[in-house]
């Protein structure tokens, strides 16, 4: 049985009269990587702040490893590593000193562990430099380093790939996958960059206007979002419309998108061939996560 690491129950947050969160519920098992996505102003960062005790909860509960974040703060937060908003570090100190400050506050972190983590995030050549001399990408890596230093059970990362180059993004992804697999960390990642989450999250949670729109496994999510589209490559796309009576869009001179059930595809092809239409190829259109997301949220309206 997998253990539940994070459980949010009907989380609400008001700023004055405005409702920022209108009852957010989440569940995260060990080893899960949850992509927490939503448009700007949907309440992602607020949810993360409530989870890590940085803001007071109007109503609802957050349990981390079974401890209530409000009543059992120290025990709950002990299991959390986090970057909120941006990796805010002490600029006037070296990266290593920053990590040492964090290490001092936990019992199980020694020098060896620091060195190990520094290597893991690939900062070993620059770790003695002042953070003010770091690039944004290096700060991001250091931010991840300080978050995972004490082997937390739950890692909450607010846009961790911000400012990283494609190589860096790939490395971070590999790293996070490894952490989830080997250390059984539960990881919650908020991001705008949906393409990134595509390949490496196993769960996805969409938030819009302070409400969870959908929580699901990423594969189910993508399957659900399928809308049976096929792309046909033909000699002349303009003539197709008069031949078939399925819903269709003409994409280019040679390409059309046809909305059709899978079982009906052979029938369509047969008919086209009978009518002497040259068909070069027919393929299923792949719906990206981004399209699925836009379809789900339909764009965000900031209330």
Partner 1 sequence: MNKLIKNELVKILAKKSTIVMAIIILVVVIGFNVLNKKGAEISGSYSAYSNSYVSYLEEELKSLDANNPADVNDYVETKSELDVAKLGKEYTEISWQADVIQKFIAPVISEINNYKYLEKDEESLNEVQKEYDEMVKALSNDWKYFANKDLEEKNESIDELNKMLETDNENEDIKNQLQNLNFQKEVITLRLDKDIPYGSETYKSQAMQNYEMYMTNYNGYAQEKNITEDEKSEMNNYLQKANLYKYDIENDKEYQNPATANYTLQNSIGTYIVIIVLVIVIVAGVMISEEFNKGTIKLLLVRPYSRTKILMSKLIAVFITMFITTLLIILLQLIIGGFVYGFSTYFMNVVQFDLTSSSIVTMNIFAYLGLIFVCKLPILILIGTLAFALSTLSLNSPLAIALPIFGYMGSEMINLIAVSYGWNWIKYFVTPNWDLSQYLFGGTPLFSNMSVEFSITICAIYFVIMLVCSIITFKKRNIKNV
Whole-angstrom distance, CA of residue 38 vs CA of residue 194:
10
- 270 contacts: CB under 8 Å, gap ≥ 6: none
Select from 2, 3, 59, 90 the one that contacts partner 1 (CB under 8 A): 90
Interface with partner 1, residue 102, by CB under 8 A = yes
Interface with partner 1, residue 74, by CB under 8 A = yes
- 250 contacts: CB under 8 Å, gap ≥ 6: 237, 238, 240, 241, 256
Interface with partner 1, residue 162, by CB under 8 A = no
Contact letters (x/-) for partner 1, 109-148, by CB under 8 A?
A: -------------------------------------x--
| Interface with partner 1: number of residues (CB under 8 A) | 31
- 178 contacts: CB under 8 Å, gap ≥ 6: none
Kindly tell me which of 22 and 296 has the beta carbon lying closer to partner 1: 22
Interface with partner 1, residue 52, by CB under 8 A = yes
Going by C-alpha positions, the residue among 301, 296, 291, 248 that lies closest to residue 272 is 248
Interface with partner 1, residue 82, by CB under 8 A = yes
Whole-angstrom distance, CA of residue 198 vs CA of residue 7:
23
Select from 3, 10, 14, 91 the one that contacts partner 1 (CB under 8 A): 91
Interface with partner 1, residue 300, by CB under 8 A = no
Select from 1, 40, 71, 92 the one that contacts partner 1 (CB under 8 A): 92
Interface with partner 1, residue 191, by CB under 8 A = no
Whole-angstrom distance, CA of residue 88 vs CA of residue 84:
8
Select from 1, 18, 71, 105 the one that contacts partner 1 (CB under 8 A): 105
In the complex, what is the shortest distance from the CB of residue 237 to partner 1, in angstroms, rounded to a whole number?
Answer: 49
Interface with partner 1, residue 54, by CB under 8 A = yes
Kindly tell me which of 8 and 232 has the beta carbon lying closer to partner 1: 8
Using CB under 8 A, list all residues that contact partner 1: 45-46, 49, 52-56, 73-75, 77-78, 80, 82, 84-86, 88-93, 97, 101-102, 104-106, 146
């Amino acid at each position: 049985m997998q253990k539940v690491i994070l459980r949010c129950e009907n989380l609400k947050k008001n700023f004055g009269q405005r409702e920022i969160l209108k009852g957010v519920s989440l569940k995260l098992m060990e080893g899960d990587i949850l992509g927490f996505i939503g448009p700007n102003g949907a309440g992602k960062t607020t949810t993360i702040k409530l989870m890590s005790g940085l803001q007071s909860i109007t109503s609802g509960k957050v349990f981390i490893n079974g401890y209530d974040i409000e009543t059992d703060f120290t025990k709950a937060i002990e299991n959390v590593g986090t970057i909120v908003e941006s990796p805010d570090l002490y600029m006037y100190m070296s990266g290593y000193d920053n990590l040492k400050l964090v290490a001092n506050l936990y019992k199980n972190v020694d020098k060896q562990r620091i060195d190990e983590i520094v290597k893991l995030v690939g900062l070993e050549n620059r770790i003695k430099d002042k953070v003010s001399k770091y690039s944004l990408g290096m700060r991001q890596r250091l931010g991840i380093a300080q978050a995972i230093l004490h082997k937390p059970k739950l890692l909450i990362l607010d846009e961790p790939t911000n400012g990283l180059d494609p190589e860096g993004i790939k490395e971070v992804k590999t790293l996070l996958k490894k952490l989830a697999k080997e250390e059984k960390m539960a990881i919650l990642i908020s991001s705008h960059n949906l393409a990134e989450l595509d390949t490496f999250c196993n769960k996805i949670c969409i938030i819009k206007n302070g409400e969870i729109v959908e929580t699901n496994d990423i594969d189910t999510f993508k399957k659900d979002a399928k809308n049976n589209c096929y792309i046909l490559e033909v000699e002349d796309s303009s003539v197709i419309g008069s031949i078939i009576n399925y819903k269709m869009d003409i994409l280019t001179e040679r390409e059309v998108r046809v909305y059709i059930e899978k079982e009906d595809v052979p029938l369509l092809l047969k008919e086209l061939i009978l009518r002497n239409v040259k068909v070069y190829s027919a393929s299923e259109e792949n719906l990206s996560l981004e399209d699925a997301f836009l379809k789900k949220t339909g764009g965000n309206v900031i209330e």
